[in-house]
Structure 1
Amino acid sequence: MKEELLEAIYGTVERLEQKVDELSVSTKNAGAETVPASNDITKLDKSINAMFIKEEEVRGKISKLRDAIIVFADLIKVELGKNEQRSKFLVDAVKQMRQGNDVFSKTLQDKLEVMNKSPQKKVVTHRFEPTSKNVLLFIGGLALSLVISIWGNLTQWRDYQDWEEADLKYRALKMVLPSDDPNIRYIEKNFTVCRNENIIDEVRNRVAFYEDSILQHYKMVEIAAYKDSVANRLWEESKMIKRVIGCSK
């Protein structure tokens, strides 16, 4: 489209130049013919000069128009070059995108083929049922661990209470007994001032033996009381039997 426009502009310029040349030739011929017939040579010279001036002006305008057309043609050529470069870049980008799409489609097709050839995996869904065996076992184990934890904490608390009470008993004895009591001095010396592990172990064994003896004494007292109650009950039953036998006689 732009090339056709340039050809039309060049054709118009050529036709204008031809018209100007024809006009100049006709003016010269007219001047040559009218010179002998005219009596006023001055007017003829003025008219001829005016025609030449107009011709020069027209030629100057035509030359300027030609220069402008040349500049316009150069600009059009530059623009066409840019458009060709852009179109080339666009074509290259389209080719690259097409190649990328081909590679991606090929990769996707290969993956689909591999998936079709591979064995199908079954999807297993698990549903939580409160009445199932595993859930009941889990709840039972959790409850048992909770009970064991509570029992262990309670046992530790009782042991701590026993230790605290034992310490309180010792401090109460220190408060009640005189400060120069030999037993208190013996304990303070071997436990605090000059710690002696052998004596501490001996004292520990004595205390354990004493506590065991006290425990055995209490057990024996309880057994004796139980046996006394059993003996009393048997004695009462024997009396009742004797009375029944005496009444029957």
Structure 2
Amino acid sequence: MNHYEFSFQVTDTTQQEELIALLSSIGFTGFDESNDACKAYIPVDDFDETAFNQILDIIAISFTKSIIKEENWNAIWESGFEPVTIPSFQEGKPWVRIRAGFHDADASISIDINITPRMSFGTGHHATTYMMVQLMGLIPVTGTRVIDFGSGTGVLAILAEKLGASSVLAIDYDPWCISNAADNLQANQCTKIRLIQLDKMPRVEEPVDIILANINLNIIKDNLDAISDAVKPGGWILFSGLLRTDAPEFDRMISDKGLQKIQYVEKDQWAAWLTQKL
């Protein structure tokens, strides 16, 4: 699957936040941010030029556009990929290390995850994945049943298994992500994760203990009823992929669904929630 890469020149954080929010609403699924630039990625088949031009009517911004072919992706990410170490939320000590297969493992760090992202997103470098990993360290995972909705590379599903989950259902709409995640499961010797391709949260016969939802506001909005119904009372739902400017609206949404906000964190312009179903 080929992707478009758009490189935007941004003037400040506020403009970058607005741009990412608008692009997320029309199917962009990956972002690479710096102080004065933002790269955004979308599958070629998902790109809606009319919707994109409507965003340009809202934000006057210069950009370049290029195609990243499927076979070129590994060379691009490998050229700049470095392992990321994520500290535990409470103690601040190195806890999870996410690396590529060509990096050596670090025995001094508790959890080692080997990820090859291909055209999928989720390496721990992005703030949303980073925060989700940290929040997972705040809840009991051993022996639980988990759903990872919007699994991407499968990194959070893999972490759930390494933390002792008894079963994990990893869901993504993109067949390329499913294929990529399958390779990553094998690289990490995972045996308790089942991958399925769906474009929405499924209705489950028996509610699970934990749901991980690192996607974007619009997809979470569209699926919040099903997400809430799929977790048992007392169970945990972790959300990210939302901007910190979404926080007031999202706080109202989760409260209306009977979800109690246990922990809220921000990193860069992104936000994440740890919630518990009442």
TM-score normalised according to structure 1 size:
0.15
- Larger helix proportion of the pair: 1
Q: Larger radius of gyration, structure 1 or 2?
A: 1
TM-score normalised according to structure 2 size:
0.14
- Larger strand proportion of the pair: 2
